[in-house]
Structure 1
Amino acid sequence: MHEIVKIEGLRKEFPGVVALDDVNLSIRKGEVHALVGENGAGKSTLIKVLAGVYKANKGKIFIDYKNVEFNHPLEALKAGISVTFQDLSLFPNLSVAENIAISKKIEAGEKLINWTEFRKIAEEAIKTLDVNIEVNQKLGYLSIGNRQMIAIARAVVNDAKLLILDEPTASLAKEEISALFKIIDKLKKQEISVLFVSHKLDEIFEVADRISVLRDGKYIGTYNRDDITEDELISYMVGRKVIYSKYPKRKSDEPMLEVNNLSKKNNFKDISFTLNKGEILGVTGLVGAGRTEVVQAIFGNNIPDEGEVYLEGKKLDLSSTAKAMEAGISYVPENRQEQGLVLGKTLADNITVTIIDKLKNKFGLIDNSQKKSIVNEWIDKLNIKPPYPEMNIDQFSGGNQQKAVIAKWLAFSPKILIVDEPTQGIDIGAKSEIHKLLRDLAEDGIGIIVVSSELPEILAIADRTLVMRRGRISHVFEGDNMTQEEILNKAITTTKN
């Protein structure tokens, strides 16, 4: 079988960290090869080495059996390696045609723009993928799913031998995922190899031919999809058997947060519910149902037109996030990369950013010993990898960056914790850790609101669940009295019980 890419003994070090250690991997021509592993396993680093973003300290990379060494991403592109990162690296203010053709023209060293040729290149790429997208429109007007198609079309015009897709379905709706898989199948038939990097094991078993596992920077093995079960794959990823816990439902009659008739035009209407002390309240519904808009209103980040919110009997000022924080409410956003992190700063700085004033001594200086103690406590509790407080947050994997944001808000010691998609992008082992953490926090008396589109997550940890549809609460489920099918049914009907 023809190997389009082969990696031998790859090692990549950062100051104090070995990100990749003796990694060996081969990708066959025209195959869909999945790469899996927990957050911090080395997947992102391996992608960036293959893409020419990082240079390995040791080891060899072969493309079409030729030993190559990349000093720049453009060299990897010329060699036939194209990467579609999670952020897609596209230009929303440029046209579809410009986004597709620009890298090919840069690679060719051309300085003058021939708009007719740009459009021709783009139209041919779009035709190859058999999608219907107008190439003259601005990219910013497209859905996330169509932008994904444009990123793939760009790889096609660059004569990609290997297309690396990094968490390609993270922001896609179900129908967009189906469309993406059809495109991947077309690429496979054109003998273009695809390295599919994802946490979603159901998708991996649907689309991949072979699956390679990394753990703690080491290569564990490569397996034919049909020769391995999901449970076996998980055990290889985490080095242990993961137990999926469905936590017993708690009954609490001590109201902590009361929301009365909250409304905002074009967002939500007549939202009323109670969150009890030590309770986990799930909030779910289809995309666009208004879930995030409601919790942002409670956090002072989406001022409602009508309604009131009370915390421990005291009316809340919903005019700002500062007022919400002062009252004891914290909010872990869905988009942690843009809204939750202080990029360029250390892990320690990110964890303590909400409590910086509490760390100051009487002279106004930071008590570094107290800061270190708090940071290490949360690194241990959330199993953040690598456990280096002074490492730049930019160097952590996506899942560990998410853990850092959660730690930041827990360090704040909130009365109410709102978490929006708490395990999105987090690996299978870390999910169970986050679920246990949320349950432990509830046991300590914190009121928790979990907004999630993952119904198994809601079923596992929520004591009660609000289902939203078109900006309204369509149903409230109590305790164990719910199934995935019943939740979905209430998400598409309007009767409120």
Structure 2
Amino acid sequence: MEPFLSLNHISKTFHATRALDDIALAFMPGEVHCLAGQNGCGKSTLIKIISGVYRPDEGAEIRLGGRQYSRLSPAQSVASGIQVIYQDLSLFANLSVWENIAINHYHHGLLVNKKRLRQVAERAMASIHVSLPLEARVGELSIARCQLVAICRALAQDARLIIMDEPTASLTHQEVEGLLHIVRQLREKGICVVFVSHRLEEVMAVSDRISVLKDGQLVGTWPAAEITTRRLGFLMTGREFDYQVRELWQSRQSTPVLEVRKLSRAGEYQEVSLRVEAGEVVSIVGLLGAGRTELCLSLFGMTRPDSGEILINGQPVALRSNRDAIRHGVGYVSEDRMSRGLIMTQSIENNIISTVFGKVTGPGGLISRARSGELVARLVTALSIKTGDVQLPVNTLSGGNAQRVSIARWLAITPKLLILDSPTVGVDIANKAGIYHIISELASHGIAVLMICDEIDEAWYQSHRILVMQQGRITHSFLPDTSTREQIAEVVSG
């Protein structure tokens, strides 16, 4: 069988940086082909060359649809059946489902034929056996349903190769299973799916072949059946990752850092009680919509509970704002670091000191560059943030390093309690390991850690205790050393 798309001698240089170095790959019809590698390995650059956004260096050979090119334009890429579904999905939140799916068919004729466009959307949905409310605004849909809208939009464009960039990053376990089922359906229709994900278990579950990129070079391509998750991690990083369950937590004091008593907020969570001691890591797992983030926002003073108590070091506190929470030693690393966690266009230094301006100001209330520089340098070193200049904006960093900056800005307040909301979302395997090490270090220094986890494995390996939240309530508690991941997953999925 002939490849749908062949790439040879694909290189790309940005100034003095060689982002891709002589890549050769082939993508077959009706296969799921995973691109694996750490952040910065060249995956995004390669995708942009395939989609026509970037021009490769001289000598590139791209064979597509029986023709050979030295580069593709975006129009040539789309006309040949290549569609990219980026992590942000690029949908129009204010338009309906059918309008989003059929958006590229509006140019036919002077007048909009709504009946015909709805039929385009219906055919695309029927081709993968999904049902979506055609008149619903996309902004009102769940992330999982938005994924389906994006896939149907690609199918409406007669896609023959669909690139999915981190499609499961914001999905629950059940939603991931649903998406992987759709991916298999696309494969059965003869469509090539290029799957990009940091979640290696999903890669192994759905891929036919896996290509590994490292430092801009192709390490190799293997049939998925001939490689293990552990081997794949090593090929991507050159390191072995062997996590161990934490030792059984031994209570060290009678007064916890955080105690929550029957906390409720209408429509979000009910009668929640929990406690976290100094040096303890407690994770909350559950399906999307279980109320985990909503609970944490109240613990950080962003929303107010209707009833119940929050105690810090045994003392009842009223957290009317995040300033109150910070004053009581509570830090919160948001899941959405791009809009809530960090100011992406501001410098690394400014982001880190944004929580502690009082600590770094000198006479006259002006920021002391000496104090600021000393604090930032200490945290950059402690968290192994890879940057050549702390004056660079955060949006120049990889996802893993940006997340470390997000953690650093809260360590600057010397917290008693650190709340981590899905801290490894969109982070590659090596940076995940780095963040896990940071969490362990924080706990070893007596900081209480409350963590929301979307992956059962993450909670099982990284926590002393695991709480399951369902429909706004804490329903189960597990100790990793006396339970299995399968038991926890069964409870979470109901």
TM-score norm. by structure 1 comes to 0.89
Question: Given the alignment of the two structures, is residue 449 of structure 1 paired with residue 439 of structure 2, yes or no?
Answer: no
Deviations 1:367-425 (CA, angstroms, capped at 9, x unpaired): 44554454454444444456553444334443443333223222332121000122222
Is 1:270 equivalent to 2:279 in the alignment?
no
Aligned to 1:35: 35
Deviation, structure 1 residue 57: 4.8
- Whether the aligned pair in 2 keeps the contact of 1:249 and 1:462 (CA below 8 Å) is no
Q: Which amino acid aligns with 1:341?
A: L
SS in 1 for 2:162: strand
CA contact (8 A) 2:173 2:455 kept: no
Taking a change above 3 Å as real, the CA distance of residues 390 and 48 of structure 1, as seen in their structure-2 partners, is farther
Q: Is residue 257–residue 312 contact of structure 1 (8 Å, CA) maintained in 2?
A: yes
CA distance in 1, matches of 2:267, 2:400: 33
Give the 3 Å change call, closer, same or farther, for CA 353–59 of structure 1 in structure 2.
farther
Report the Cα distance in structure 1 between the residues aligned to 2:70 and 2:133, rounded to whole angstroms: 37
| 1:354 partner SS | coil
In structure 2, the residue corresponding to 1:125 is in which secondary structure?
helix
Cα distance in 1 between the residues matched to 2:125 and 2:470: 35
Cα RMSD over matched residues?
2.8
* Residue equivalent to 2:48: 48
**What is the DSSP-based 3-state SS (H/G/I as helix, E as strand, rest coil) of the residue aligned with 2:482?**
coil
Query: Who is 1:320 aligned against?
Result: 321
Distance in 2 separating the partners of 1:4 and 1:234: 28
Identity %: 39
Q: What letter matches 2:45 in structure 1?
A: T
- The answer to which of 419-428 and 241-250 deviates more is 241-250
Partner SS, residue 481 of structure 2: coil
Give me the whole-angstrom Cα distance separating, in 1, the residues matched to 2:134 and 2:485. 40
Aligned residue pairs, count? 490
Alignment partner, residue 88 of structure 1? 89
Partner of 1:292: 293
Counterpart Cα distance in 2 of 1:40 and 1:379: 19
Contact 1:379 1:387 in 2 (8 A): no
Q: 1:66 to 1:293 in 2, by over 3 A?
A: same
Give, in whole Å, the separation in 1 of the partners of 2:49 and 2:467.
45
CA distance in 1: counterparts of 2:210 and 2:493, whole angstroms: 36
- For 2:384 and 2:21, locate their aligned partners in 1 and report how far apart those are by CA, in whole Å: 21
Alpha-carbon shift at residue 14 of structure 1 (Å): 4.6
Task: With the length of structure 2 as denominator, give the TM-score of the two structures.
Answer: 0.89
Tell me how far 1:261 sits from its aligned partner: 2.6
Residues in 1 aligned to 2:458 and 2:58: alpha-carbon distance in whole angstroms: 41
Equivalence map 1:157-306=2 (5 Å): 157-251=156-250, 252-253=252-253, 254-306=255-307
CA distance in 1, matches of 2:380, 2:416: 21
Deviations 1:159-211 (A, max 9, x none): 32321001112233444434333332333233321110011222212221110
Contact kept in structure 1, 2:246 and 2:481, CA below 8 Å: no
For residues 318 and 46 of structure 1, the distance between their equivalents in structure 2, rounded to whole angstroms, comes to 47
Instruction: State how far apart, in whole Å, the 2-side matches of 1:16 and 1:349 are.
Output: 28
Corresponding residue for residue 423 of structure 1: 424
The answer for the alignment partner of 2:336 in structure 1 is: 335
Measured against aligned partners, the alpha-carbon deviations of 1:224-258 in whole angstroms (never above 9, x if no partner) come to: 11222222111001112122133324422152222
Give the superposition deviation at 1:7. Answer: 3.0
C-alpha distance in 1 between matches for 2:493 and 2:119: 43
Deviation at 1:139, TM superposition (A): 2.5
C-alpha spacing 1:59/1:391, structure 2 compared with 1 (3 Å): farther
Question: How has the CA–CA distance of structure 1 residues 7 and 357 changed in structure 2, closer, same or farther, with 3 Å as cutoff?
Answer: farther
Segments ≥4 residues shifted beyond 6 Å = none
How far has the Cα of 1:32 moved from its partner? 1.3
Which ranges of structure 2 fall in alignment gaps of 5 or more residues? Answer: none
**Separation in 1, partners of 2:98, 2:462:** 46
SS of residue paired to 2:441:
helix
Q: 1:291 to 1:80 in 2, by over 3 A?
A: same
Cα distance change of structure 1 residues 338 and 48 upon mapping to structure 2, 3 Å threshold: farther
Question: How far apart in 2 are the matches of 1:366 and 1:396?
Answer: 24
